Amino acid sequence: MSLLVENQLLALVVIMTLGLLIGRIKIFGFRLGVAAVLFVGLGLSTIEPDIAVPHLIYVVGLSLFVYTIGLEAGPSFFKSLKTTGLRNNALALGAIVSTTAVAWGLISALGISAASGAGMFTGALTNTPAMAAVVDSLPALIDDSGELRTVSELPVIAYSLAYPLGVLIVIIAIAIFSAIFKINHNREAEEAGVAVHELVGKRIRVTKEGLPAVENLPHLLGLTIIVSRVERNGEQFIPEAGDRSRIGDVLTVVGTEAELDKACVEIGELLEGDPYSDIDLHYRRIFVSNSDVVGTPLEKLQPYLQGMLITRIRRGDTDLVASPEMTLQLGDRVRVVAPADRLSEATRFLGDSYKKLSDFNLLPLAAGLALGILVGMLEFPLPGGTSIKLGNAGGPLVVALVLGLLSRTGKFVWHIPYGANLALRQFGITLFLAAIGTTAGAGFRAAMSDPQSLTIIGVGALITLFMSLLVLIIGHKVMRIPFGETAGILAGTQTHPAVLSYVSETAKNDLPAMGYTSVYPLAMISKILAAQVLLFLLM
């Protein structure tokens, strides 16, 4: 313990190491994951209160965590607003506002202190950035430095007390209501059109006259497909803009089984056999590492790929059918169809360099973070002379969402490679949890022998339960949202990846992830602001 007191860097890495190890242990089928780092830091500092990690560490970790989330979620978040996003976010925002009101009533009625009550609220809603916002807001409300040092521990302690049940109750509620509502996740996915189907290629002979240009087939026929090659009179070619199919042509079409069945009805007849055997054109998976092609729609890249065609994009573990409006990101793996002697040209154009991708440009990352921190410093006045701000979590998140949507500004590519994004995100949240956990050791030790702690745990559990019931019942039964998506909305409203992991493993489809990503950014910002408003109302 004395070593950890004397060397803050050693304390930091020991807390991170132990926390990540403990987070891998399954308890009743559930893992704490990275959240275990918080409890290790809290536990060690409870044993030895002089163990500390510099304040700057947790600020850096928090900002890095939310910024990388925003970059990845930006495109899907704004895209969802055009479809189901408004509905989903209305549910999430309504739940957060209602839960904040219930929390205010319970905290006021039971006489829980403002700092503890606000911290308990953030723990019940499992949102560490909101807890950080509460801690950062305390200096503006408390003048005495001695009192501030004591009070600043309270939100962290209350958060730590409420957090475990804040995760567990949500998972239990989803499991129970899934059984009560007799949910069939496979049927839900099929009805919603998001059932996981492997992309395949098939050959279809054209028997229908008057078909639109090959490049317009997917849009005009309402199909999620792409025609990768055309065979005419024994010769194969990649369709160019304006090319039309003729009776007797054989099209090699890529899509899911269901989409290809629809394509057969609209285009002609299915031919048996392997579509990739005995072909003149070849294909290759190429890794996108050239930043010059990132953020540009495929239709604008096509002039640089004359005689070649991108048919599939693999992003993370998901295969997507390429479409003209789609843009590439660093780290994507694309399937390119081209004559054998032109594949090397496509490789040079797209990059295909793991080494170059690993040495990604840090300048846009630093610039985006700086802009986010500046936005987080902006204060929004409230009645009574107080104000709230997005802080070091909300500011970077808002900026990252916008930059993620833009993808690039001139030579600046805001996106960072998929693998690097995940690594920086994990590193950031681990730094934050390790540092914040060491700030409340002495207070947490006293809290363990204080009956008030049981009150905080109990009230926090009620707040979590209220939120869970509200979202699941209103979302699924009143708003008629598929249960898998509703559970994903609840996970996103709680802003907790462990809940999403549980729902996704149970549903085994994309509905939970769709609900989660559609509300996560707004839920994060809303809870950061709600926690500060609650603190001001209670003071």
Residue 278 has pLDDT above 90, yes or no: no
pLDDT at 320: 78
Q: Specify the long-range contacts of residues 75-78, CB closer than 8 Å, at least 24 apart.
A: 75/404, 75/405, 75/407, 76/517, 76/518, 77/401, 77/405, 77/517, 77/518, 77/520, 77/521, 77/522, 78/401, 78/405
Encoded tokens for 315: 């992003």
Average pLDDT over residues 360-370: 89
Residue 116 has pLDDT above 80, yes or no: yes
pLDDT at 195: 66
Tell me the pLDDT tens digit for each residue of 399-420.
Answer: 998 998 888 888 888 888 888 8
Residue 408 φ then ψ, to 5°? -150, 155
Residue 162 has pLDDT above 90, yes or no: no
User: Torsion angle of alpha carbons 116, 117, 120, 124, nearest 10°?
Assistant: 180
* Three-state SS at 406: helix
By CB neighbour count within 10 A (0-12 exposed, 13-18 middle, 19+ buried), where does 226 fall?
Answer: buried
Q: Which residue has the higher pLDDT, 308 or 371?
A: 371
pLDDT at 194: 65
The answer to whether 62 and 396 have CB atoms below 8 angstroms apart is no
By CB neighbour count within 10 A (0-12 exposed, 13-18 middle, 19+ buried), where does 449 fall?
Answer: exposed
pLDDT at 108: 94
Q: Which residue has the higher pLDDT, 498 or 127?
A: 127
Beta-bridge partners for 283: 337
Q: Which residue has the higher pLDDT, 456 or 449?
A: 456
CA-based max dimension of the chain: 87
Least confident of 121-125, 180-184, 381-385: 381-385
Tell me the pLDDT tens digit for each residue of 315-328.
Answer: 776 777 888 888 88
pLDDT at 411: 80
Tell me the pLDDT tens digit for each residue of 96-107.
Answer: 999 999 999 999
Average pLDDT over residues 456-466: 93
Distance in angstroms (rounded) separating the CA atoms of residues 224 and 219: 8
Among residues 300, 409, 453, 405, which one has the least CA distance to residue 78?
Answer: 405
pLDDT at 444: 66
Distance in angstroms (rounded) separating the CA atoms of residues 412 and 71: 14
Among residues 202, 237, 201, which one has the least CA distance to residue 312?
Answer: 201
Report helix angle 391-406 to 363-376, nearest 10: 130
pLDDT at 32: 67
pLDDT at 292: 86
Least confident of 101-115, 225-239, 506-520: 506-520
Q: Residues 441, 445, 447, CA angle at the centre, nearest 5°?
A: 115
* Three-state SS at 529: helix
Helices (H), 336-450: 343-350, 354-358, 363-376, 391-406, 418-437, 441-447
Residue 526 has pLDDT above 60, yes or no: yes
Q: Which residue has the higher pLDDT, 167 or 382?
A: 167
pLDDT at 196: 60
By CB neighbour count within 10 A (0-12 exposed, 13-18 middle, 19+ buried), where does 453 fall?
Answer: middle
% helix, strand, coil for the chain, step of 5: 65, 15, 25
**Residue 238 pLDDT level (bands cut at 50, 70, 90):** confident
Among residues 42, 67, 106, 54, which one has the least CA distance to residue 395?
Answer: 67
Q: Specify the long-range contacts of residues 232-239, CB closer than 8 Å, at least 24 apart.
A: 235/280, 236/279, 236/280, 236/281, 237/281, 238/281, 238/307, 238/308, 238/309, 238/337, 238/338, 239/214, 239/215, 239/309
pLDDT at 280: 62
Average pLDDT over residues 98-123: 93
* Three-state SS at 313: strand
Average pLDDT over residues 440-448: 64
pLDDT at 275: 64
State which amino acid sits at residue 326: M
pLDDT at 385: 63
Tell me the pLDDT tens digit for each residue of 281-307.
Answer: 677 888 888 888 888 888 888 888 877
Among residues 161, 166, 32, which one has the least CA distance to residue 463?
Answer: 166
pLDDT at 452: 82
Average pLDDT over residues 387-408: 84
Residue 313 has pLDDT above 90, yes or no: no
pLDDT at 493: 93
Give the whole-number percent of the chain exceeding pLDDT 90. 20
pTM reported for the whole predicted model? 0.72
pLDDT at 339: 80
Residue 111 φ then ψ, to 5°? 70, 25
State which amino acid sits at residue 161: L
Question: Chain-wide mean pLDDT for the chain?
Answer: 84
**Residue 72 pLDDT level (bands cut at 50, 70, 90):** confident
Beta-bridge partners for 408: 413
In order of their start, the domains of the chain are: 53-189+364-428+452-538 (no CATH), 195-356 (3.30.70.1450)
Run of H or E including 250: strand 250-255
Residue 364 has pLDDT above 60, yes or no: yes
pLDDT at 440: 63
